[in-house]
Amino acid sequence: MKYRLMDLLACPYDKHFPLELYVVEVNKYEERNVSFRSKPACELYCAFRGKEVKEFGGKDPGCDECIKYEVKTGVLYCPTCQRWYPIKDEIPVLLPDDLRKKDEDLKFLVQIKDRIPEKIWLQGKPFNLSEK
């Protein structure tokens, strides 16, 4: 998942923006070169730097470097409804609760538990490790 996608994603349930991003693993594609017409390339939120775009005062936050990275594994988290969404193999999975597979989600949480905040694996919705 490109960091730039965070400038567009909101919680499917309550529309909270921006979601919190917890990166477990990244891939870097050194050969990727993109020229943006204007910088910052994001409109509202720069997840690469973890700041709102207005905080940069029109200066480039490092867009040419940002575009070289993909979040391979991680979690998107909504602080309003406490729902979490996995990022697996560079793909964010923002499915509604009833379409998620509990066993797969719990297995994913166990694998990354030590690299994400406790609030996600202990209290996150729709599933968390306190249920095990």
- Supply the pLDDT for residue 35: 84
What tens digit of pLDDT does each residue of 14-59 get?
999 999 999 999 999 999 988 888 999 999 999 999 999 999 999 9
Domain harbouring 105, CATH code: 2.20.25
Average pLDDT, the chain: 96
Q: How far apart are CA 37 and CA 2, in angstroms?
A: 18
Number of domains in the chain: 1
> Domain range holding 111?
3-131
pLDDT, residue 118, reads 98
Whether the Cβ atoms of residue 69 and residue 3 lie closer than 8 Å to each other = yes
**pTM across the whole model:** 0.93
pLDDT score of 132: 57
Neighbours of 37 (CB within 10 A): 5
Q: How far apart are CA 5 and CA 9, in angstroms?
A: 6
Distance CA 79, CA 117 (A): 12
The pLDDT assigned to 34 comes to 87
